[in-house]
Amino acid sequence: MLFDLSHRQSIVVGQAVGLSTTEFEIMQRLIMADGAVVLYEDLLGFNEDKSLDDRDAAERLRYHILSIDQKLKGAGVEDDLITNVCGVGYRLAEKPMHLP
C-alpha cells in the first residue's frame, strides 16, 4: 500500500483507490501521526459543514472512516488499517508506505 501525499493518490496492489478529499485528508493526518493516536477533535477539524453539532460531526467522521476502510478492503487490503482507540481517537494499525 502506498500513499503519495503530494499527488494525493492512494495505491493498493498497483490499483488506485478513489478516496474523497476529506477521506484523503483524514488518511494524511493518520499517516503523519506515524502510528500515534490522532484525537477525535483533530480529525473533526475536517468537518466541512460548520452547521453540524459535535455529535453529528462525530457521526460524519465515523462514516468517513468506514468508507475509507471499505474502499481499501475493496482494493485488496485484508486487515482493518484504521483502529479506533475508544474515547480517544483513531490510529493506523500498520504503517503504509508514503511519499511526501
- What is the CATH classification number for the domain harbouring 15? 1.10.10.10
Grid cell at residue 67: 468508507
Question: Do residues 97 and 52 touch, judged by C-beta distance below 8 A?
Answer: no
pLDDT band at 89; cut points 50, 70, 90: very high
98's CB contacts (< 8 A; 6+ apart) are 2, 3, 4, 5, 31
Domain count, the chain: 1
Kindly report the pTM of this predicted structure: 0.79
In terms of residue numbers, what domain contains 6?
A: 2-99
| Alpha-carbon torsion (68, 71, 75, 80), positive or negative | positive
Q: Give the range with max mean pLDDT: 13-17, 60-64, 72-76.
A: 60-64
